[in-house]
Amino acid sequence: MKTALGTILKQIPRENTMFDLNDYTFNKGLQWYEASFTIDGVQVNVTVSAEDEKDPSQLEARIKKSIDWITNNKNELLDFCAEELLEDKNSEEWLKKGEKQLSRSEFKAKLTLEAIHINADGSITIDYKDNKMFWGHTVVVAVTDDFALDYATIEG
């Protein structure tokens, strides 16, 4: 009966499902909720740490606050990535033979949102596909719990 009810609930249209924990799968081993949504036409994985959090409404509020901030600060995030990483990209270490240096706008245009990790402490980690600028590594931006841009780096 529980499965049937869950199926029915998922068929009810909601204003914005990415803020509703019913649309997430709980990963018991990792103690987080995970889901995949389309944001700006791109499939994005979202994980939300549930460590020490017993109140689903608190998690949903954290999700909404975080996703809203990311949505409203897309350009600021990309500018921060360019500020932190463009010089590295244009260095001899990362430029392929014969490749020209990228402008700030070209660099930003190559980044594609891939994943959002909402951590238990309220901080956020945002992953971008690098479109081979850094040989397929992930560009990672860390945002503090009060939404200050902390750092941008490449990983993987």
pLDDT digits (tens, 9 = 90+) for 136-152: 999 999 999 999 999 99
Q: What is the pLDDT of residue 83?
A: 98
89 falls within a domain: yes
Lowest mean pLDDT among 20-29, 61-70, 105-114: 20-29
Alpha helices by DSSP H, listed for the chain, are 2-11, 56-72, 74-89, 104-110
Dist CA 88 CA 102 (whole Å): 11
Q: What is the pLDDT of residue 16?
A: 54
**pLDDT tens-digit series, residues 98-111:** 999 999 999 999 99
6 falls within a domain: no
Residue 22 structural domain: 17-155
21 falls within a domain: yes
Q: What is the pLDDT of residue 47?
A: 95
5 falls within a domain: no
9 falls within a domain: no
Query: What is the pTM assigned to this prediction?
Result: 0.85
| Long-range contacts, stretch 141-146, CB < 8 angstroms, 24+ apart | 141/77, 141/80, 141/81, 143/69, 145/121, 146/122
Q: Which two tokens stand for residue 128?
A: 């971008």
4 falls within a domain: no
Q: Give the per-residue SS3 of 67-86.
A: HHHHHHCHHHHHHHHHHHHH
Instruction: Domain count for the chain, please give it.
Output: 1
Lowest mean pLDDT among 39-48, 50-59, 65-74: 50-59
For 140, other C-beta atoms within 10 Å of its C-beta total 19
69 falls within a domain: yes
For the chain, state the CA radius of gyration: 18
pLDDT > 90 fraction of the chain, expressed in percent and rounded: 64
Q: What is the mean pLDDT of the chain?
A: 87
The pLDDT confidence band at residue 38, using thresholds 50, 70 and 90, is: confident
145 falls within a domain: yes
Q: To 5 degrees, how large is the angle CA 8–CA 12–CA 13?
A: 155
Dist CA 91 CA 55 (whole Å): 48
